[in-house]
Amino acid sequence: MKADGRERNDRKENGGGFMKKTMTLCMIFFCAAALAACTGNADNTNIVNSSETAVETASEEKPKDHFNDIEKTVDNKASWIQEYEYPSEFSMGDNLKTAVIQLALCYDNFDKDSVCSEEWKEIFVSRFIQNTRSSFGYLDIVSEKNDGQIGVDELNYIQYSLTGVELDFSSFAGDGLNRYDAASPLSYGAITGYDYEYTDQRVIVTADFEVGYDGADAKQEHEITVELVKNPYSCFDGYSVVSISSKVIMTSCAMQEGSSYVFYGTDMMEEDQGVFPFEFSYSEDDLLYGHFVYVDMTQAPELAEFVRKNAGGDFKITFIWDGEEMERIEHVMPVDITLDDKEWIRK
| 86-95, 287-296, 306-315: the lowest-pLDDT one | 287-296
pLDDT of the residue at 250 = 64
Q: Has this prediction a pTM greater than 0.95?
A: no
Taking each helix axis from N to C terminus, what angle separates 2-13 and 17-45, rounded to the nearest 10 degrees? 90
Would you tell me how many other CB atoms lie within 10 Å of the CB of residue 125? 21
CB 169 within 8 A of CB 122: no
pLDDT > 80? residue 181: yes
What's the pLDDT tens digit per position in 321-330?
876 666 678 8
Give dist(CA 226, CA 43) in Å, integer: 30
- pLDDT tens for 199-233 read 988 999 999 999 887 766 667 889 999 999 999 99
Q: Pick 260-345's CATH classification: 1.10.260, 2.60.120, 2.40.50, 3.30.70.
A: 2.40.50
Task: Considering only residues 70 and 251, tell me which one the structure prediction assigns the higher pLDDT.
Answer: 251
Q: At residue 273, does pLDDT exceed 50?
A: yes
| Phi-psi domain of 147 (left: phi exceeds 0; alpha: psi -120 through 50; beta: other) | left
Report the pLDDT averaged over residues 181-201: 90
Each domain of the chain, given as residue ranges in start order, spans 49-252, 260-345
